[in-house]
Amino acid sequence: MKLKIAGVGEAVLRDGARPLRSAEIGSGALDALIEHMRETLRDAPGVGLAAPQVGEAIQLLIVEDKAEYHANLKVEQLQERERRPIDFHVLINPVIEILSTPDVSFFEGCLSLPGFVAMVPRARSVRVHALDQTGKSVQVEAEGWYARILQHEIDHLNGTLYIDRMWSRSFSSISQYDRHLKQRSQADLLHEFRPA
């Protein structure tokens, strides 16, 4: 079942999410929510979705970055972004360790702010401690685009959106981005939009 995605302005995106209790993890209700979130993410399509984005104020997120989503990016763009396919997985009650200064900036968007993108500085590498869908402890080491996705989704669990972190002068509609910004070099974009 496709779920309705909360849009910027809705309180659930700002209020923060509560941790899941162990009795909830692995329950039929939670597994059904995860399956519906997966369907919603693929339909969008997107590479990550946090439970508050579907109206559930709980610390749950899913990630999936499929190779087919990379078709409209050039090889050098994928390399610059350190973007590689990531298999579908679930993270519950995540705790993030930022392992490098947030000094890598690329355009990113959010399913809760459809039609817009902006340059957002993120750390290149992070470590996340969490539980998987079955309640087992997992530790994820992530670099590049995967680290960006995790920072974006875990921000959602704390009521933070990318617009709180973006270089605001880079904020753009996707149509204007496609027309004017997509082809420009990373060096050129950094020069134009990096705050003084």
Q: Verify binding: residue 128, Zn ion, rule CB under 5 A.
A: no
Residues 6-25 contacting Zn ion, CB under 5 A: none
Active site amino acids: 153
Listing DSSP states for 127-152 in one string gives EEEEE-TTS-EEEEEEEHHHHHHHHH
Nearest CA to 129 out of 175, 106, 98 is that of 98
Residue nearest to Zn ion as judged by C-beta position: 110
Nearest CA to 171 out of 103, 115, 123, 102 is that of 115
Residue closer to Zn ion by CB (options 92, 110) is 110
Residue closer to Zn ion by CB (options 20, 153) is 153
Burial label, 59 (beta-carbon count in 10 A; 0-12, 13-18, 19+): buried
Size of the site for Zn ion (CB under 5 A): 1
Residue closer to Zn ion by CB (options 24, 49) is 49
Q: Are 51 and 57 in contact (CB under 8 A)?
A: yes
* Per-residue mark of binding to Zn ion, 76-115 (x: CB under 5 A): ----------------------------------x-----
* Footprint of Zn ion (CB under 5 A): 110
